[in-house]
Amino acid sequence: MLTTYSPVEMMVAAAARILEDKKIVFVGTGMPIIASIVAKRLYCPNLLIIFEAGGIDPLLDRLTVSVGSSYTIDRAIMATSMDYVMSLAQRGYIDYGFLGAAQIDRYGNINTTVIGDWRRPKVRLPGSGGANDVGSLSWKTITIMRQDKLRFVDRVDYVTTPGYLNGPGSRERTGLPINTGPYRVVTQIGVYGFHPETKEMMLLALYPNTTLKDVQENSSFKIIVPEKVEVLDPPTIEELKVMREIDPAGIIIPRR
């Protein structure tokens, strides 16, 4: 079974490979937790994982269902508070903010609040939690989400977490820290970055079974495609073992 993998497992593997050793990552619920654990176990032993409710660098041996679960302080180096970890972001200590999203647009703005007009929404979503703070104050924001035309939209219905807002210079004009913002977007189709000048989303890598056609057919806005696009390796046996070990119930990682 370790020779086959699901789109979710490809996404988690791709995201885990982005993180760096000796960095601090502020982790959101779901796939960000699994990807961070994979990264820490296999590639980044000195990666410091922080959770919104105050857990700092716990020794996680299974998936926690939320960032406020008691597992987020299991054998942690610190059990603090939400205001303490948010102050770490405010003071510039957080290298990576790692989030999920319901909608994203070409400038990396994220919506996790409502679908439709916020006064009379069609769908109410979980809301910000700490996502606004994380995306506003971390040096680099990684987003992991499913890609289709309803999620990759020309303009998000509500800006829960700011990306590059309306384009170059927008973050700085609103008072957000200089040189912060969206860094990578990981989907079931590929990995995206942002053009250094226009700040628009740009394809960086595909997976072994995805194509450029998939990229554009699953987005409501045109994604920049450079001349050279990397094709990532599939998940390794080691990556798959860790994913399935820490999510034995198949909450995020599907079971066959």
Per the structure, the complete domain to which residue 242 belongs is given by 7-246
Output the six-digit token pair for 128.
Answer: 């910000």
Reported as a single tens digit per residue, the pLDDT across 101-116 is 999 999 999 999 999 9
pLDDT at 78 over 90: yes
CATH code, domain carrying 23: 3.40.1080.10
CB 64 within 8 A of CB 26: no
Known catalytic membership, residue 197: no
In a domain, 159, yes or no: yes
Catalytic residue among 9, 52, 200, 239: 52
In a domain, 238, yes or no: yes
In a domain, 180, yes or no: yes
In a domain, 251, yes or no: no
In a domain, 255, yes or no: no
What CA dihedral angle connects 111, 16, 179 and 153, to 10 degrees? Answer: -30
Angstrom CA distances, 172 to 37, 91, 168, 198, stand at: 33, 17, 9, 15
Interatomic CA distance for residues 75 and 5, integer angstroms: 31
Interatomic CA distance for residues 173 and 73, integer angstroms: 37
In a domain, 36, yes or no: yes
What is the domain count for the chain? Answer: 1
Reported as a single tens digit per residue, the pLDDT across 180-217 is 999 999 999 999 999 999 999 999 999 999 999 999 99
The model's confidence at residue 254, banded by pLDDT at 50, 70 and 90, is: confident
Q: Output the pTM of the full model.
A: 0.95
In a domain, 2, yes or no: no
User: How many CA atoms lie less than 13 Å away from 61 in the CB half-sphere?
Assistant: 2
